[in-house]
Structure 1
Amino acid sequence: MGAAKIAVPIVSLLLVVGVVIGVIVVIKSNGEGAEEAKNLKTPSTKMVNSICGPTDFKEACTTTLETVAKNASSTPSDYIRAVVEAALKEVNNALLATNKVNVDKSKDEYDHVAVEDCKHLLDYAVDMLQGSIAAVKAADLAGLQEQQHELLSWMTAVYAFQTTCTDQIKSPEYKSAVESGMLNATQLTHNAVNIVAELTEMLKLFNVKLPTNKPVTLSQRRLLALKYGFPYWFGSGDRRLLAQQAAGQLVPNVVVAKDGSGKYKTINDAVKAYPPKFNGRFVIYVKAGVYDEQVIVDKKKPNIFIYGDGIAKTIVTGKKNFGIMNIGTMHTATFANEAPGFIARGMTFRNEAGPQGHQAVAFRSQGDKTAMFDCSFEGSQDTLYYQNLKQFYRNCRIYGTVDFIFGKGDCVIQDSQIIVRKPLPNQFNTVTADGREIKRGSNGLVLHHCSIVPDDYLWPVRFEIQTFLGRPWKAEALTVVMQSTLGDFIRPEGYKLWDGSTNHKTCLMYEHGNTGPGANTKGRNKEFSGFKVISAAEAAKYTAGQFLRAGEWLPQTGVPVQMGLY
């Protein structure tokens, strides 16, 4: 963790727009919505003050809304567009400024890569902001409210793109140059997150009345999805796809086999075979074997479904790391997904660097709506990197030592086994390290109905090595452990301070309904001001159905999910 964290969230504009338009619920088809919007009148000063109320950078916010506020007939969509367009303008300016920062690779290879990654991060942020603007333009007032969570997830990710950019740079000279060019962009994006988070309250300011006679609502579809045991983001086609795969009846697009019995011998060659402008699911079957290769699914390859012959049978492995090789964290990942709609099933993702490699990622994803099922993630420090945007993991195994489940995305891990390993001498174990940075952001980490246990090597010395449920990577970190079984080796204080920070005073660490000898919360660390044992009603907010809005996207993948509490 720390300065070596590098991220490159990638979502193309075309894909972003396509996803948004797909979730917009058009409530009024007879023009009434447009007429309603035209007739909305608001006192500009009062409106601007109310909209900017939740923001941290109020002067920047009021300046952003000055022009739109002068038009008495401006609608909520106009205000949201103004906020996002202002952020887009400044992110573009930040990109131009960062493009002028050049690092001599021969003298400082690490920071050369970090600054180049920054340029890509900001470029991806531009794509996402442009897609968000298109989404707002396409929505009526009711549709705008329906897609609030989607927009919030994207704005949260855009902010994370920028902070991760500066996090990763070591040299004060280059860090300062990039930060100074990004100041306005981070402030306006921070404002955008807080404004979108309060969008429903904004609609109330405009006296927007949403109709009650919706023909088919997202909520209704979520209930239907729950009835059949699949989240709604999984469509019927994808449910059939996974059912066929489970029954051995699925015909993949390509087959990978080390023995030559498939079309390709490497996973990389199979990924490269993804056809241009492909529609639907591109299915890759990887036969049993150990594949020693670094795989990256880039943003131009959405909706891949890759499956193997099962955990410990189909294995992707590598050993890239920061501790020995001085490779930035993102670039250590054995398998990386950078595209939306990625699904994997029945595979092992492994980084063999060991604890001496320090940051060494087995799997990372910044692809929106990632779903992983029946997979194993094996490493030591930083094993599973839920980098950005919405991610769901079910019936998986996750192995590690320090901060081994970490990221800045919106992540739920359900019905999985979390296996803690033996770290280096004088090290501690921390299962989680969440990176939420804005309290109203959409992101955070939820462990739901999981078990946390020591592996065979840790077991004999499990009481000699300190093991914590987590520590807060960023100030507003959100970690929820609920309805899970906690082994006896979990420290009574539960959570560890992040050295050199005051994150423990602002983060949120919640527990609900846990069992096992490590679940006693009486001894939890009193320095964590935001620690709380939450009620069932509060815990429901962190289930897949509510926290990820999983009903809106998981059904399309075919992965089963528990939407609510058990």
Structure 2
Amino acid sequence: MGRAPLCFHPQRAPPSTLQFLFVTMGNYLSSLSMFSLFIFLSLSSAAHLHQPRHPQRLHQPRHPQRLYQPRHPGRPHHQRRPSPAQPSDISAKQAISLACKATRNPEKCEAPLVNSNNVPPNPTPIQIIELAVRVASEKVKAAELMLQPIVDSYAGDPIRLIAAKNCLEIHRLTEYRLSRTAEVLPRGDIKNARAWMSAVVTYAYDCWSAWKNVSDSQTVAFLESLIELTTNALSMIVSYDRFGNEIGKWKPPGTERVGDWEVVGGPGPGLGYKGGFPSGLKPDVTVCKGGSGCNFGTVQEAVNAAPNNLEGVRRFVIRIKEGVFEETVRVPMEKRNVVFWGEGMGKTVITGSLNVGQPGMNTYNTATVGVLGDGFMARGLTIKNTAGSAAQQAVAFRSDSDLSVIENCEFIGNQDTIYSHSLRQFYKSCRIQGNVDFIMGNSAAIFQDCLILISSRTGDNNANAVTAVAAHGRIDPALSTGFVFQNCVVTGTDEYNALRQSKPNVHQNFLGRPWKEFSRTVFINCKLEALITPEGWMPWSGDFALKTLYYGEFGNSGPGADLSKRVPWSSQIPADRINMYSVQNFIQGDKWIPSS
């Protein structure tokens, strides 16, 4: 997607004809002295992580929240109860060495843990994981102490000021997710731990990517070490989830591409858990244009009135009447379990036009509606960004809400319409419209029974009309993230279809392209119309990520579903592995999505 300077995620340009040809031809910051001292003391753990070519960006809130609870109180949330520790006469250093074999860089994993002052004697596997999380947490807190004086010193340097502020707020959010992970690990709540640590890795990467082009190498190396520490902890959690205390079996995470499938149970997507927006809700407040006869005249006023940190299944329902609300809406972290309930697609409309072409704007902050509070739900409304395709990145809806349900909603934009940034999200029976990477991010998201609409954009009359639907940004195989499209229809708007028919050789459309190295996207039982090019998937740049991504298809229909000319680096999902991508297995939705 083409980026304006100072962006906080990759300069992602619209796909070009040259990229398409590649597919079809076959094989596709001076710092304060105190800050410098902290960095110097931290460099011993700095890592040289493989760096994906296109960093992402993020602006996060200052106020953490507590976890949105499963809808079944007392019911385990996919827990693995830690089994009794196996008798062992090996030293703590040897045990750490074994555990670090679960990471992609065991040598760099061991030193921070062995040198920690918190190593228990004869540690159990779960204690080693807890140690890894603690070490990462300590590093994050050190980073926060370092970054505050940097923020204070950069008032006259907008580039570095934006990067420093973003990093500081990210680290506060990261610290919260790490603390929640540390709380649930002893209880064996591994699925939550994996989801939250996947977000932590994403946030660590965001901070590093904000700095890498504007700061000195020492700062960048320090922030890079945070990525490695958090990724190592996550990799151990993955192995524990798979092998328990059999630490001798622990191994680095792999991908489906190399046959490293997780063992899961339950039915596949066609027979899976059915649920969505809950019935029987009653409004707590109402919003209507002008405020006459309602509690509020803007959606943001209603959000501000919501109580903080709602517990359990208690929700704050905002009934939004028919009308067009021209505003930017933010749901902060402390506003949990907020519900937007509109009067229907096209009737209740929230619209904005922020875009990266405006001074000081980055992609993350362009969102018309941006959500951070967990347990967010929405139904019966349209969210738009009307900046136009020439404005490049312009997000309609951005979400970092864990355990989020969106049903019967419409999202309209051009480039980056939905920024599904992190954590677990469920989109059901939605309409999503755009033309460049218009479903993007690094969440674990399922899109079920959705209508995916490719639209025309400025310049479509030129020979450069190449589109990718999805751009997923997984940066490491340990992350439990990916985009899953189930029973969706991929087609074009009426306007686009007419334009395409007039110049069929100009318009080429792909299911996705790899924004990051371990991008993961699958289409299952979807109807793919003829506008999908026979190759199916397109590269990002050269051969970047083509050996590490996972792009899979199963049971699709329609003229765009013919697999005979698919690129060789895409995959057909084995029938006996489909249930890995079910609602209950991929996002543990049967534990938190209300039943139909």
Class of the TM-score when normalised by the shorter of the 2 chains: 0.7 to 0.9
- Cα gap change, 1:113/1:26 in structure 2, threshold over 3 Å: closer, same or farther? closer
CA shift for structure 1 position 441: 1.2
What is the rounded CA distance, in whole Å, between the counterparts of 1:488 and 1:355 in structure 2?
Answer: 23
1:124 aligns with 2:155: no
**Aligned residues of 2:518 and 2:549 also touching (Cα < 8 A):** yes
CA shift for structure 1 position 469: 0.7
**Aligned residues of 1:64 and 1:86 also touching (Cα < 8 A):** yes
What is the rounded CA distance, in whole Å, between the counterparts of 1:480 and 1:550 in structure 2?
Answer: 18
Match of 2:482 among 444, 455, 458: 444
Secondary structure at 1:493's aligned position in 2? coil
What is the rounded CA distance, in whole Å, between the counterparts of 2:368 and 2:413 in structure 1?
Answer: 10
CA shift for structure 1 position 275: 2.6
What is the rounded CA distance, in whole Å, between the counterparts of 1:71 and 1:403 in structure 2?
Answer: 47
- Cα gap change, 1:206/1:186 in structure 2, threshold over 3 Å: closer, same or farther? closer
Instruction: Say which is worse superposed, 329-338 or 12-21, in terms of deviation.
Output: 12-21
Match of 1:533 among 541, 548, 572: 572
- Cα gap change, 1:14/1:429 in structure 2, threshold over 3 Å: closer, same or farther? closer
- Cα gap change, 1:25/1:422 in structure 2, threshold over 3 Å: closer, same or farther? closer
Instruction: Say which is worse superposed, 79-88 or 178-187, in terms of deviation.
Output: 178-187
What is the identity, as a one-letter code, of the residue corresponding to 2:508? Q
Match of 1:3 among 7, 10, 16: 10
Write out per-residue CA displacement over residues 50-86 of structure 1, whole angstroms, 9 at most, x where no aligned residue: 3111212312322244369975553333112111101
CA shift for structure 1 position 466: 1.5
**Aligned residue in 1 for 2:110:** 62
**Aligned residue in 1 for 2:232:** 191
What is the rounded CA distance, in whole Å, between the counterparts of 2:363 and 2:248 in structure 1?
Answer: 48
**Aligned residues of 1:64 and 1:82 also touching (Cα < 8 A):** no
**Aligned residues of 1:9 and 1:161 also touching (Cα < 8 A):** no
- Cα gap change, 1:70/1:188 in structure 2, threshold over 3 Å: closer, same or farther? closer
**Aligned residue in 2 for 1:270:** 302
CA shift for structure 1 position 8: 3.7
Secondary structure at 2:507's aligned position in 1? coil
What is the identity, as a one-letter code, of the residue corresponding to 1:148? I
- Cα gap change, 1:291/1:398 in structure 2, threshold over 3 Å: closer, same or farther? same
1:511 aligns with 2:553: yes
**Aligned residues of 1:8 and 1:161 also touching (Cα < 8 A):** no
Instruction: Give unmatched runs, 5+ long, in structure 2.
Output: 2-8, 12-55, 250-263
**Aligned residue in 2 for 1:95:** 144
Task: Name the structure where helix makes up a greater proportion of residues.
Answer: 1
What is the rounded CA distance, in whole Å, between the counterparts of 2:473 and 2:494 in structure 1?
Answer: 30
**Aligned residue in 1 for 2:206:** 164
- Cα gap change, 1:524/1:258 in structure 2, threshold over 3 Å: closer, same or farther? same
Secondary structure at 1:341's aligned position in 2? coil
- Cα gap change, 1:47/1:68 in structure 2, threshold over 3 Å: closer, same or farther? farther
- Cα gap change, 1:69/1:198 in structure 2, threshold over 3 Å: closer, same or farther? farther
Secondary structure at 2:483's aligned position in 1? strand
Write out per-residue CA displacement over residues 479-522 of structure 1, whole angstroms, 9 at most, x where no aligned residue: 11111011101111111111266122211111111100011112
Matched-pair identity in %: 29
**Aligned residue in 1 for 2:38:** none
CA shift for structure 1 position 93: 2.2
Match of 2:449 among 391, 405, 415: 415
Q: Give matches, 1:309-320, under 5 Å.
A: 309-320=343-354
- Cα gap change, 1:345/1:41 in structure 2, threshold over 3 Å: closer, same or farther? same
Write out per-residue CA displacement over residues 433-484 of structure 1, whole angstroms, 9 at most, x where no aligned residue: 0001111210011111100001122112322212111100000000111110
What is the rounded CA distance, in whole Å, between the counterparts of 2:507 and 2:153 in structure 1?
Answer: 42
- Cα gap change, 1:350/1:103 in structure 2, threshold over 3 Å: closer, same or farther? farther
Aligned residues: 515
1:252 aligns with 2:283: yes
**Aligned residues of 2:57 and 2:210 also touching (Cα < 8 A):** yes
- Cα gap change, 1:164/1:22 in structure 2, threshold over 3 Å: closer, same or farther? farther
What is the rounded CA distance, in whole Å, between the counterparts of 2:273 and 2:587 in structure 1?
Answer: 16
RMSD: 3.1
What is the rounded CA distance, in whole Å, between the counterparts of 2:423 and 2:213 in structure 1?
Answer: 29
What is the rounded CA distance, in whole Å, between the counterparts of 2:380 and 2:236 in structure 1?
Answer: 41
CA shift for structure 1 position 94: 2.6
**Aligned residues of 2:427 and 2:446 also touching (Cα < 8 A):** yes
What is the rounded CA distance, in whole Å, between the counterparts of 1:26 and 1:154 in structure 2?
Answer: 14
Q: Give matches, 1:526-565, under 5 Å.
A: 526=568, 528=569, 531-555=570-594, 560=596
What is the rounded CA distance, in whole Å, between the counterparts of 1:17 and 1:392 in structure 2?
Answer: 15
What is the identity, as a one-letter code, of the residue corresponding to 1:534? I
**Aligned residues of 1:103 and 1:111 also touching (Cα < 8 A):** no
- Cα gap change, 1:27/1:511 in structure 2, threshold over 3 Å: closer, same or farther? closer
What is the rounded CA distance, in whole Å, between the counterparts of 1:278 and 1:263 in structure 2?
Answer: 20
Match of 2:404 among 349, 370, 374: 370
What is the identity, as a one-letter code, of the residue corresponding to 2:294? G
CA shift for structure 1 position 543: 1.6
Normalising by structure 1, what TM-score? 0.83
**Aligned residues of 1:14 and 1:131 also touching (Cα < 8 A):** no
**Aligned residues of 1:449 and 1:483 also touching (Cα < 8 A):** yes
What is the rounded CA distance, in whole Å, between the counterparts of 1:69 and 1:537 in structure 2?
Answer: 44
What is the identity, as a one-letter code, of the residue corresponding to 1:47? A
**Aligned residues of 1:156 and 1:443 also touching (Cα < 8 A):** yes
Structure with more contact order per residue of length (Cα contacts < 8 Å, sep ≥ 6): 2
CA shift for structure 1 position 204: 3.7
What is the rounded CA distance, in whole Å, between the counterparts of 2:455 and 2:185 in structure 1?
Answer: 46
Match of 1:113 among 162, 165, 168: 162
What is the rounded CA distance, in whole Å, between the counterparts of 1:27 and 1:473 in structure 2?
Answer: 32
**Aligned residues of 2:375 and 2:405 also touching (Cα < 8 A):** yes
Secondary structure at 2:214's aligned position in 1? helix
What is the rounded CA distance, in whole Å, between the counterparts of 1:494 and 1:26 in structure 2?
Answer: 35
What is the rounded CA distance, in whole Å, between the counterparts of 2:438 and 2:79 in structure 1?
Answer: 44
